[in-house]
Amino acid sequence: MAFVNPWIGFALNNAYANRVLFGALGELDSDAFTAPRPGFFGSLAATMNHIYEVDLYYLDALEEGGLGLTVYDRDPVEEVAALGQLQAEADMRFASFCSKLDEAALTREVTTHRPEGARLEAVGAILPHLVQHQVHHRGQAHVQLSHAGIEPPQLDEFFLDYDRAELAQAYHG
């Protein structure tokens, strides 16, 4: 049976969901974006920066870039449009990586750098972890958007033909 690569779909869904979420975040001014909110990271800006920098960390590992933990040595981006653009670029890197996957690539091990030292992880374990990480923290951003008085956007109308969001169609080619 031929390998069917599900990861490009997950990566494009991820890009779509982030684009929609950043569209909603665009309704906030800088003060509202950085204002204290409930959640792990205490503000929408901190939550969205966390998503972005964890993406950078795992993309670097997947691409074997060698940056490791230094991807976290950055100032947070506190302007919605600028962070949205950076996230979109990271999302397309992830989609590009996923588009090239074959069955053998999923068992390949790459180095992840941890505070305790280097650790090998299978590509096939990193991919679902990264997707789940995104979903988890976008859920927190939904709560934070509600707290800010913004209606959280629908993010799950992507895969099925039934009720697929019009914008999602652009990611299906």
Q: Which residues are annotated as a binding site?
A: 50, 133, 137
For the chain, give the number of residues: 173
Spatial CA neighbour of 35 closest among 169, 147, 153: 147
Which residues make Cβ contacts (< 8 Å) with residue 116, sequence separation at least 6? none
Helix, strand and coil in the chain, % to nearest 5 = 60, 5, 35
Which two three-digit tokens encode residue 152? 């959280």
The CA-CA-CA angle for residues 94, 98, 104, to 5°, reads 140
Sheet strands (E) in the chain: 109-114, 117-122
Helix intervals (H) in 121-161: 123-147
Rounded alpha-carbon distances, angstroms, from residue 63 to 36, 52, 66, 79, 157: 35, 16, 9, 28, 29
Which residues are annotated as part of the binding site for a divalent metal cation?
A: 50, 133, 137
Which two three-digit tokens encode residue 163? 């009720």
